[in-house]
Amino acid sequence: MTPGPPAGGSASGAVSAAPGLSSAEAARRLTQFGANKLPETGTVPGWRRLLAELTHFFAILLWCASVLAYLAGMPQLAIAIVVVILVNGVFAYIQQERAQHAASKLRELLPAMVSVRRDNRVTKVHTTELVPDDTVLLVAGDRVPADLRLAVAAGCSVDESMLTGESEALTKIPGDTVFGGTFLVNGQAEGVVAGTGGNTRLAEIAALTGKVEAPPSPLALELQRIVRITAAMALGIGVLFFVLSLLVGISWRDAFLFAIGVMVALVPEGLLPTVTLSLAVGAQRMAQRNALVRNLEAVETLGSTTFICTDKTGTLTQNRMNAVEVWTPAGLLSVIGAGYGPEAEITGPGAGEARHLSTAALAASVGRAVLHEEQWIAEGDPMEAAIDALAARLADPGQRPEEPEVSHRFAFDPRRLRESAIVGTTLFVKGAPESVIPLCGEDSAGRALEMVDQMASHGLRVLAVAERSLPGLPGASFRLEEVESGLTLLGLIGLHDPPRAEVRVALESAREAGIKVAMVTGDHAFTAAAIARETGLIGSPELVLEGHSLPEDDAVLAALLDRDGVVVSRVTPEQKLRVARLLQHRGHVVAMTGDGVNDGPALQQADIGVAMGLSGTDVAREAADLVLLDDDFATIIAAVEQGRATYANIRRFLTYHLTDNVAELTPSSSGPSPGDGSRWR
């Protein structure tokens, strides 16, 4: 199938979908062109990193002390100081190597698969296995894995801000080039690989970036500031003791050695590497509990979290959608089946109408239920896989519904809250009831809205399905709003996503730790509230807000949000971003979860952005500080606990080390006595 032009776009310049390479040809080209990855930048040799640990600010201070001690006739003290420098330098080097190794191992855990067409079928390969002339399939939220020349573009817009700095996504049509590393924000696309590895635009920029030394992080700057202040105090106190020793009649040589001992005792030379190791170990422990930290400084911030804004689907629930109810004007049909398989028990009236509805919903869907190793699994969106399973369950016994021949597809976006497809001259639409039902006739709208509330109150996610006969295919230029109008409502689909069993315990742990939790979701208010009750998230008295009715006054909204157990439903990306900002203005350290393209701004705004590793998009993962490898809310709480433990360890170390320095000063506090020839007491 070949999707048509994007809404509001032109069909001119359209290119048919490329057939793809054979596996043998792809293997040959992989050998010829090499792996699709950025060239390795020159790494600093180990001996240079070790030398850096022996020549930083504090080490130079100790080297000077050693030289001065030797000149003063104290070779034993000089050797002792050198030993301290070497031991500390090697220790710090080992710690830094461990931290770097932990960070590199964590980065390897991020998935990097892409759909390609090879051997006349769609398969998934690792991005490093892409070769020139491969045909790549992309959907909204995917990161472009290499430089591509688009052959098919349906409602496509691409975020190129990482390359150009342009904040707005750019519309793309067939024939355009999209660059590796950018993101497909809307629509679907197929592209032919034009450049891989070092031949991409991203590689050119990376080559320049590799020449620039990254600035230190805010946490590192703060630690350096603390240590420099301590070092300055050590120097000042050493000079003070030197002057006082001279004033009481001690020889300059003994006074000088005494001052050196004071300074050496007060310099916290092991501070920075120890803190780095604490963060790296904390990140490794989080990874073992399925929480991938994308930057080490986030470990400390995570431990300070006071408010968690969690999504519903896949985080509080299992993200295993199952269509359990179908309503048509003929009546309510119950569907009892497990997983995504085609077997189910069907009871109720209107089986024929429900079959037509499921076929229409299937045409407007991309995700499918596929048989993998004798088990039916979701390929793509679990909700759309559940629709595919529903169509199979309602089909005639022993048959699966035929794959619709879609000529035009209009992808879902968070503002329209629907998606549609044209098969022949019929438009099929599925989406949120409040988005689809108003476009239909008023005859069935009243009863349909009642059923939406009834199904949602049972914790079901509700989709409305409609159709329209078109006088012909859209021309070269058309408005999507005109095509998606005058619809006939076919009915509703109720999908159930069971809550995770461990969420209730995790919520109790969060509240015991003084963390407030809110649900911020795009789902229907009734559905969100039902899941919140089932998991124990919702507070008392219950407060359920809807995106379209949020107060305009920021102070009023912030006061409403700043409570435990609030539910915010039907939020747009702008509203989710606003929620994060208002809670931060109230003094909270906010952790925000998300999995879609539309969650990116809020994840970046939050103090800790938490993305879903299994179901999340590349955009969400790129914007996040923490990636949940199991998409489980309980993992967030475990990560917060680990963050707090790491933060407590850092504080204990600082307290111990600074008080220990004072203790080291005590043996020298009496100083050398004048005239008795003693060095130290």
Is pLDDT of 608 > 70? yes
CATH architecture for segment(s) 23-36+130-209: Distorted Sandwich (2.70)
Q: Which contacts (CB < 8 Å, 24+ apart) does range 224-230 have?
A: 224/272, 226/271, 226/654, 227/58, 227/268, 227/271, 227/272, 228/57, 230/266, 230/267, 230/268, 230/658, 230/661
Q: Which contacts (CB < 8 Å, 24+ apart) does range 665-673 have?
A: 665/262, 665/265, 665/266, 668/258, 668/261, 668/262, 668/265, 671/241, 671/245, 671/250, 671/258, 672/245, 672/250, 672/254, 672/255, 672/257, 672/258, 673/250
Tokens linked to 57? 């600010």
For residue 635, count CB atoms less than 10 angstroms from its CB and return exposed for 0-12, middle for 13-18, buried for 19 or more: buried
Is pLDDT of 119 > 70? yes
Q: Which of 134, 147, 311, 632 is catalytic?
A: 311
pLDDT at 507: 93
pLDDT band of residue 315 (cuts 50, 70, 90) is confident
Residues of the chain with CATH 3.40.1110.10: 322-496
Of 470, 370, 495, give the one whose Cα is nearest residue 420.
470
Residue 216, preceding bond cis, omega within 30 degrees?
no
Select the more confidently predicted residue: 209 or 412: 412
Tokens linked to 665? 């000063």
Select the more confidently predicted residue: 558 or 483: 558
Select the more confidently predicted residue: 474 or 310: 310
> What's the rounded Cα separation, in Å, for the pair 365 and 383?
9
- The separation between CA 184 and the C-alpha centre of its own chain, rounded to angstroms, equals 16
| Segment 316-369, tens digit of pLDDT | 888 788 999 999 999 999 999 888 888 889 999 989 999 999 999 999 988 888
Q: Indicate the fold that domain 322-496 takes in CATH.
A: Calcium-transporting ATPase, cytoplasmic domain N (3.40.1110)
* pLDDT cut 70: percent of the chain above it: 79
| Segment 637-665, tens digit of pLDDT | 988 888 888 878 877 877 776 676 666 66
CATH classification number, 291-317+500-642, choose in 3.40.50.1000, 3.30.1120.10, 2.60.40.1120, 3.30.70.260: 3.40.50.1000
- The radius of gyration of the chain's CA atoms, rounded to the nearest angstrom, is 31
> What's the rounded Cα separation, in Å, for the pair 654 and 648?
10
Mean pLDDT of 531-555: 91
Tokens linked to 204? 């050119």
> What's the rounded Cα separation, in Å, for the pair 455 and 450?
9
pLDDT at 103: 42
Q: Is 625 a catalytic residue?
A: no
> What's the rounded Cα separation, in Å, for the pair 51 and 62?
15
Considering the chain, what is the average pLDDT of its residues? 79
Select the more confidently predicted residue: 42 or 11: 42
**Range with lowest mean pLDDT among 94-98, 176-180, 259-263, 574-578:** 94-98
Is pLDDT of 11 > 50? no
**Range with lowest mean pLDDT among 211-220, 297-306, 455-464, 628-637:** 211-220
> Per DSSP, what are the bridge partners of residue 369?
378
> What's the rounded Cα separation, in Å, for the pair 462 and 281?
44
pLDDT at 85: 75
Q: What is the DSSP string of 80-119?
A: HHHHHHHHHHHHHHHHHHHHHHHHHHHHHTS--EEEEEET
Q: Give 349's Cβ-side CA count (13 Å radius).
A: 5
pTM summary value: 0.62
Residues of the chain with CATH 2.70.150.10: 23-36+130-209
For residue 322, count CB atoms less than 10 angstroms from its CB and return exposed for 0-12, middle for 13-18, buried for 19 or more: buried
Contact 293, 640 (CB under 8 A): no
Residues of the chain with CATH 3.40.50.1000: 291-317+500-642
Is pLDDT of 108 > 60? no
pLDDT at 227: 67
